[in-house]
Structure 1
Amino acid sequence: MVDSSSLSTRFTLHQLEAFVWTARLGTVHAAARHLHLTQPAISHRIRDLEEELGIQLFERQSQRLLVTELGRNVLVYAERVLASAQDMARLDLRRTITGLVRLGVDESCAIIGMPQILKEIKDSYPALRVDLTVGGGAQLLQKINSHELDIALHTGQSSQPDVTSQFIGLTEHQWVAAHDLMMPDGDFLPAHALNHRIVCNAPPSTLHESASRWLASDGYSFEEYSSCNSLSLMVALVASGHAIAMLPASITRRQVAEKSLQVLRAKPAVPNVPYYFSYLAHHRSDMTARILDIVLRNLHYAGFFQAEGSS
C-alpha cells in the first residue's frame, strides 16, 4: 500500500509520464522513442518513482513489461494527473490555436481513431477548424507533397525536403477469411491464397503492395483479384465468404473476436508496415505538436499500432 505520508511528494510529472507511456507501450524502448529520451533516462525515472512510492510498478514477462496489481492502481491516478496537467497547458492554447488545418488520414485510421481524435481536437481547441480528407496512403502522400494538406497520417514516407515524415508506429497486416470457410490446416502459403478469390485495393496502395510482395516471396504474381476501394466493404465481403483478403489487423479485431472472421497463419509472416505523421516543415508549430500528441494517445488506446515486442 502506498504510504500517504510520501504524498507530500517528490515524484515529478516526468516520472509519471515515463511510467504511463511504458505501461501503454509495453517496453522502455518504445516509451523512450515516443518521449524522445534515452532508455536509461526512462528506466531511471521509473526506478525513482518506485522508490518514492515504495512499490514495484512492473514485472517482466518475456520481452514486455506488465504493470503489477499495485501498479495498475497507480496508473489510474498517474493518467489523471497527466491529463490535468495537459488541461492546464491548454488553457491559453484554447485561445491561441486558431485557423484551419487540412488533415488527411487513411481509411484504417479513420475507422479506428478519427471520431475520438476529432472530438478531442474540438474540445481542446474550439477555435481551430479541421478540414478532413480520407484517402489511400499514396493519395495522401501526393496531396501533402503538393501542399494540399497540412498534416497526413499514412503509410509511406515523404522524400520531399519541405515535408517532415515522423515515424509513429508499426501497423500489422494479416490474411483473413470467413470463419466458416474451410482452409488448409497449419500454415497459410501463397499457393493456398491463389486457390481463392482475393479482394484488394487497386495499386498504388499499401495493401496491394503488401499482398504482391508476400505472393512474390514464393514466386507468384498478383494479377487476378477483385478491386475494392473501401476497407469496410472488404471486411464485409470477406465475412460473407465472397473472398479472402489481406487487411489491417486493427479493423478486423472485432470481427475476429465475434468469430465472423478467422486469421490465417501466413507463412512467410507478413511484415509490419511503418506508419507516419507527416506535416509541412514550415508549419511546425505548437498546433502540430498538440495534434500529434492527441493522435498518438488515441491511436495507442484504440490498439491501432502493433505493440512493441509482439509478433
Structure 2
Amino acid sequence: MGMRFTIAQLEAFFWTARLGSLSRAAGHLHMSQPTISLRLRDLEQALNVELFQRKGRGLAPTPEGLALLPRAAALLEEADRIMLQTDPATVTGNIRVGFAEGFAMTCLPMLLETVRADYPLLKAEYVVSISYELERELNERRLDLAVLVNPIGRPGMRLVPLGVQDTAWVASVKWGLGPEVRPADLYRLPIVSNQPRSAMFRQIKDWFATAGLEPLRHDLCNSVAVIGHLVSSGVALGVLPARMMETEVAAGLVKVLRPVPELNHGRVYASYPEGGLTAPVSAMLKSIQKALDAIDYLKVDAPDAAGPSSHSAHL
C-alpha cells in the first residue's frame, strides 16, 4: 500500500493554492517556508501528481491541483467540524470579525454579551465598515469572518444566509412626507448615502431608476452612524436599517417611510473563506445567530429570493 496523505499536507496545499505563494501560506499557517515545501512535496509523492507550476514569482495550481482544491476544502472543513466537538468554554484563540455598520449599531451590544457568556476565552476584534470593503478585507485574509449586506459573492468564500434586514427611507418629520413615498416625491430633496460601491448606494440608485429618475442632490458619507445623525437633524433623507432609527422614531424626530415600489431587500450573510471554519469562526457564527434571534433582528428571506447563491452554503 502506498503512502497516505495527511491533513497537514492538505492544509499546506490549500493555503498555497489560495494565497499564491509558499511564503504567504507559511505566514498564514505560522510555519516556516521549508516546512510548507516539504509537506507539498510529500503530498505530491503520495498522490503521484504535480500540484503546482511556477507563475511569475508565485505558484499556480496545475489542472490536477485545481481539481483537488474543492475536495481539499471540503476535507479541511470536515476535519475542523470534528475538532469542534468540544466544550464551548474551551474555545480559545483570536478572531477578527467584520460587520456592516448599520447592522453593527443594532446587533453588536447583544453579540458582545453573547460571546462573553458562551465563549469566555475567545478574544474577538470587531471591524466595522461597509460590506464592499469588508468583503475585500475577507478576500485578502485580513478578516476571519464578516457579516455582509447584499454581498457581491466572491469565489473561494462561503456565504451563509442569515435573513433580510428591513431597510427603509427615513426622513425628519420636518419634511412632512409619508406614509408612502415614490421616486417622484423624493428626487428633488437632498439625499445622503454611503459611497457608490456600497449596498446602500445601489439600493437608492436602483429605486430611483424604477421611475427613470436620479436624485438632484446626492451627498456621500462613509459612516452609517453619521448618516443617521444627518437624517435625524433634518438636513437630508437616507435609506437606513429601520431598527437602527427606533429611538429617533420614538422621540418623534423622524418617520420611517414606506417606499413604493419596495427597495431591494438588504440580504444579510455571514461569510468566511473556504477551509476557514476554525473553532473561533464556528463559535462566532453560533453567537451571531443566537444574538440575532434574541433581538429578533432579521426577517426570514423568501425561498425564491435572488441572491449570490452560487457561492452560498447553509450551516
Quickly say closer, same or farther: Cα 1:186–1:101, change in 2 above 3 A. closer
Give the AA of the match of 1:100.
N
Structure 1 residue 186, shift from structure 2 partner? 5.9
Structure 2 partner of 1:109: 103
Whether the 8 Å contact between 2:232 and 2:254 is mirrored in structure 1 is yes
2:121 alignment counterpart? 127
Alpha-carbon distance in 2 for matches of 1:219, 1:140:
31
Aligned to 2:189: 196
Correspondence for 2:210 among 196, 207, 217: 217
Query: C-alpha deviations, 1:217-276, integer Å up to 9, x for none?
Result: 000134631211222222221122111111111211222233211122211111312110
Please state how far the C-alpha of 1:141 moved relative to its aligned partner: 0.6
**Letter of the aligned partner of 2:257 in structure 1?**
L
Q: What aligned pairs does 1:1-311 form with structure 2 within 5 A after superposition?
A: 92-95=87-90, 97-157=91-151, 159-183=153-177, 187-222=180-215, 224-306=217-299
Please say if residues 168 and 242 of structure 2, whose CA atoms lie closer than 8 Å, have aligned partners that are also in contact: yes
Q: What is the rounded CA distance, in whole Å, between the counterparts of 1:300 and 1:92 in structure 2?
A: 22
Q: Which one-letter code corresponds to 1:290 in the other structure? A: A
Q: Is the 8 A contact 1:104 1:151 kept in 2?
A: yes
Structure 1 pair 160–175 and aligned structure 2 pair: CA distance change class (3 A): closer
Distance 2:121 2:249 in 1: 40
- How far, CA to CA, are the matches of 2:297 and 2:122 in structure 1? 25
Q: Secondary structure at the match of 1:300?
A: helix
RMSD: 2.3
Change (3 A) 1:134 1:243: same
- Retained in 2: the 8 A contact 1:179–1:259? yes
User: Aligned pair in 2 of structure 1 residues 158, 151: CA closer, same or farther (>3 Å)?
Assistant: farther
CA-to-aligned-CA distance 1:2-58 (integer Å, 9 cap, x gap): xxxxxxxxxxxxxxxxxxxxxxxxxxxxxxxxxxxxxxxxxxxxxxxxxxxxxxxxx
For structure 2, the residue ranges without an aligned partner over 5 or more in a row are 1-83, 303-315
TM superposition score normalised by structure 1: 0.65
| Residues 102 and 149, structure 1, Cα contact 8 Å, conserved in 2 | yes
Taking only the aligned residue pairs, the percentage that are identical comes to 25
Contact 1:112/1:302 (<8 A) preserved: no
Tell me, in whole angstroms, the C-alpha distance in 2 between the residues paired with 1:186 and 1:249: 14
1:64-117 per-position Cα deviation (integer Å, ceiling 9, x unaligned): xxxxxxxxxxxxxxxxxxxxxxxxx9983322x211111111111221111221
* Larger mean Cα displacement after TM superposition, 203-212 or 257-266: 257-266
Question: 1:250, 1:305 within 8 Å by CA — same for their partners in 2?
Answer: no
SS in 1 for 2:259: coil
Q: How many residue pairs end up in the alignment?
A: 219
